[in-house]
Every structure is written in structure tokens, then in C-alpha cells.
Amino acid sequence: MKILVGIKRVVDYSVRVQIKKDGSGIGTDGVKMSINPFDEIALEEALRIREAGTAAEIVAVSVGPTDCQQQLRTALAMGADRAILVESTTLLQPLMIARVLHELTKHETPDLVMLGKQAIDDDSNQTGQMLAALWDRPQATFASRIGLQGTVATVTREVDAGLETIEVDLPAVFTTDLRLNTPRFVKMPDIMKARTKPLQILKLEALGLQAAPMLESVKYAPPPQRAGGSKVADVPALVAALKQRGVL
């Protein structure tokens, strides 16, 4: 079994992002960049499937600028067998990313594509569903448990009402939720080993894809600030303050 894992390079989750003064975008110069946390979970799950003897090969895929190689090297250090960077200098949106991944499925013919449920920069939560649509294959989004039996998978999904279980035929696209697993830490020797693992670079243009329609980002602004920060001394004062605000 072959598993393709999406690795998106994003601003680290611990960074409080700054909006450029002119509202033209988010300042990312000198900011710590990481693998999207959900993609680490996707990769961890793929590694566990391989360790259970079910998967043979794990391919980490990133679409974006040259710098994405850093995150792909980290993915290789975690244990992916090889990596593919589809290099693009322009910022792409989920439909185009899905088209790129769909194109790769034609060459790589994976049994599983594992993505995160959402990228923590654009918070779109679209790419996996779009890839599944274009590929005409099942999707199991927000996965918190995955069981594989031959060419069928049973997946438990975190939905608003609780836990939903579905059964899908492979190949399929899974997107990960937080509680699927806890990703392993990368060890020093693995980082050394990762340097010699294959990392293939493809130019987006070379894939010959039709450009997807895009949203135009007109303006970036900070969210409205809450005027919080006031404290009360004790419980009676708390209740009084609640009454004063008319919430009791």
C-alpha cells in the first residue's frame, strides 16, 4: 500500500500573526514556520500504518515555494520514504492545490491520501474534500480513528453531534482531526538520515494544469478587539457585575 501525505508549510501555531500596516497581507518575514499541525498527525498515522505492516511506502507532498523543502525534510526525518515538492511561487488556493494533488494521484496511484482537516493559516478546510471530488473517490474527513481491512477502511469522524463511523472503499482521501494520534518527535540521527532521502522537485507549470478560479484577497484587517481585562474581587462582586450587564 502506498500513502501520499500532504505537508503544508504554515506559520507556527504559537506565533501571533501581524497584519501588514497597509492591509495588504500577513507579515511572515522572519516568522517561525512549521508543518501544519494536522499534517503532522496525518504523517504520524501513515507511519503507524506502515509500522503495522500494512503500508509499504509513504510519500510526503508539498505545494509551494522552495522553502517548503524544510518542512519536507522534517517529514522525511519523521519517517516518510521520499518527498515531492511541487514548486509554485504564487500563493495557491484549495481548488488548485486539489488539482495538483489529483494530478499526482495519476502518477503515484496511492491507496490513501492523508491530509489535515484544515491548514491553520487559511483555515479553509477544503482541500481533502475537493481532491476526493476530482479523483471521484471516497472522503473521510475529521478522522479520529482509522481501521484498515484490505481494500476497505472503517473511519470514525468527529462531527458536531458526536462520533460518526463510515466505511469506504480504497483508494480514498482521509483528513485528520486532533485526536487521531500524537505525532512523534524527530530525533537527531533521523534528521541526518533524512538528508539523503529522495526529494523530487516538480515545477507547477510542468504539470500542465488549468489554473483554477481564485478568490481575490482585497484587504486584511485585525479582528475587532474585545474590551476585556477587568477583574472583580470576590463572588458577590461577580454576581453583581453579571446583573449589571443584564446577563442574569
Ligand X SMILES: Nc1ncnc2c1ncn2[C@@H]1O[C@H](COP(=O)(O)O)[C@@H](O)[C@H]1O
Ligand Y SMILES: Cc1cc2nc3c(=O)[nH]c(=O)nc-3n(C[C@H](O)[C@H](O)[C@H](O)COP(=O)(O)OP(=O)(O)OC[C@H]3O[C@@H](n4cnc5c(N)ncnc54)[C@H](O)[C@@H]3O)c2cc1C
Which one of 60-68, 145-153, 165-173, 232-240 is the stretch in contact with ligand X (CB under 6 A)?
A: 60-68
Beta bridge partners of 11: 33
Which residue type is seen at 164? E
Closer residue to ligand X, CB minimum distance, 47 or 97: 97
| 148 Cβ contact partners less than 8 Å away, ≥ 6 residues apart | 49, 54, 170
Closer residue to ligand Y, CB minimum distance, 13 or 159: 13
Residue in 133, 148, 201, 207 binding another protein, rule: CB under 8 A:
133
CA-CA distance, 35 to 183, in Å (whole number)? 12
Closer residue to ligand Y, CB minimum distance, 39 or 111: 39
The answer to the question of residue 139 lying near another protein (CB under 8 A) is: yes
Contacts (CB under 6 A) with ligand X, residues 63-122: 63-64, 94, 97, 115-116, 118-119, 122
How near is the Cβ of 184 to ligand Y at its closest, in Å? 16
Residue 7 touches which of another protein, ligand X, ligand Y, none (CB < 5 to 8 A by kind)? ligand X
- For 147, the grid coordinates are 481501521
CA-CA distance, 134 to 108, in Å (whole number)? 16
Give the other-Cβ count within 10 Å of 65's Cβ. Answer: 14
What are the Cα distances from residue 203, in Å, to 92, 162, 239, 247? Answer: 14, 42, 62, 58
Which residue type is seen at 108? E
Residue 73 touches which of another protein, ligand X, ligand Y, none (CB < 5 to 8 A by kind)? none
Closer residue to ligand Y, CB minimum distance, 115 or 168: 115
Residue in 136, 149, 150, 185 binding another protein, rule: CB under 8 A:
136
Residue 52 touches which of ligand Y, another protein, ligand X, none (CB < 5 to 8 A by kind)? none
Q: Is 21 in contact with 128 (CB distance < 8 Å)? A: no
| 230 Cβ contact partners less than 8 Å away, ≥ 6 residues apart | none
- For 4, the grid coordinates are 501520499
Residue 56 touches which of ligand Y, ligand X, another protein, none (CB < 5 to 8 A by kind)? none
Q: Is 60 in contact with 84 (CB distance < 8 Å)? A: yes
Closer residue to ligand X, CB minimum distance, 121 or 190: 121
Contacts (CB under 6 A) with ligand Y, residues 228-247: none
- For 146, the grid coordinates are 482509522
Q: Is 164 in contact with 140 (CB distance < 8 Å)? A: no
Residue 64 touches which of ligand X, another protein, ligand Y, none (CB < 5 to 8 A by kind)? ligand X
The answer to the question of residue 243 lying near another protein (CB under 8 A) is: yes
Residues of the shown chain interacting with ligand Y in the complex, contacts defined by CB under 6 A: 13, 37, 120
Residues of the shown chain interacting with ligand X in the complex, contacts defined by CB under 6 A: 6-8, 36, 38-39, 61-64, 94, 97, 115-116, 118-119, 122, 124-128
